[in-house]
Structures are given as structure tokens and as C-alpha cells.
Amino acid sequence: MKRYTRTGDTGETSLIGSRVDKHHPQIEAMGHLDELNSHIGLAIAQQTDESLREQLTKIQHDLFDLGSELMYTDAPPKTVDLSIVTELEQWMDEWEKSCPELVRFILPGGSVAAASLHVARSVCRRVERDLTALGVADRQLPYFNRLSDYLFTVARYANVVAGVPDQEYARGATVFQPKRKKE
């Protein structure tokens, strides 16, 4: 089987039940979901903790399951099994034990491993907005809402593992200015 089909060359693609424009809101949501999954894959490649790698891999499988629900034009996606939401909560509770107390907002970043998880978190928030715009948020939103919290928590954990402190946000903080060479 060849990888290319040429069926999308005219700006349309297939959903189960119809052909739609590639900028259709369902296609947008599926693209953002794919982007989220890709960022999680990048984050997995940067993690040293095997338990975290296993959890993130399971999440990738969950995202494929949830994304397949968006393939249908005639039926709304199934409601998420809340056991996977509870699982995210339990994992978060465990990772949080290793993190310093959060007393201020933090900036996304720190170690490369943490920064990649923060990028995944922000893409996850975009998926949440897509689902709301599609009118199916009530069916899948609890999972994505919890997933973004999970990604925030494990980003903080990744900084702990790397020995890099979270950078706290401070209103009006001066921006880093490199020293200029003396002339």
C-alpha cells in the first residue's frame, strides 16, 4: 500500500460519513490532538524516569482512542470513561509529592524535559478550546482538563529530576539583559 492517496490534493479530506474541507473544525481539532500527541512523544524522549515515560506512553494511546471518536460526522464522540480521568489524578498526586510547594505562578520552562511538557500542556489547552467550539466538550473535556493539569505537574517534576528550580513569575520583573562588551 502506498503512503500517498492524492485524495487530499483538492483541499478536502475524509471523515467517516463525509468529505470535508481541511480547515473544517473537526479536522482542526484532530490536527491539534495529533500535535499534542507529537509533543508528548518528544517529551517522552527527554525523560529519564521510566514510570513517567510509561504514563506518557499510555496517554498517547488514550489520545488515539479519543481522537478516533472525532472521525465521525454523524455521531458525537462517546463520553470519556472517567476511570482514565481518575488515573490522571492519582498519578498527579504521586508526582506532586516530589515537587516543592507551589506558592506562586511559575513560568513555563526550566529544563528541556520540563519545557517540552509545558509545550504539550499549552497544546492540550488548545484541544480543550477546540472541543468546546465543536460542542462536544461535555463528553471529553474532563480528560483534557485533567491532562493539562497532569502535564503541568510532571513538568515541575522533570525540573526536580534535572535539579532546575521552577522560575517564579514576578509582575514587572526586569527582562534579562546580557552584559555589553566594553568598547
Q: What is the pLDDT of residue 24?
A: 73
| Longest CA pairwise span in the chain (Å) | 69
Q: Residues near 121 by Cβ (< 8 Å), separated by ≥ 6? A: 108, 148, 151, 152, 155
- With cut-offs at 50, 70 and 90, classify the pLDDT of residue 52: very high
Identify which of 9, 41, 29 has the alpha carbon closest to the alpha carbon of residue 141: 29
Q: Residue 176 corresponds to which amino acid?
A: F
- With cut-offs at 50, 70 and 90, classify the pLDDT of residue 118: very high
pLDDT at 66 over 60: yes
Q: Is 180 helix (H, G, I), strand (E, B) or coil?
A: coil
Please give the Cα distance from 109 to 113 (Å, whole number): 9
- With cut-offs at 50, 70 and 90, classify the pLDDT of residue 84: very high
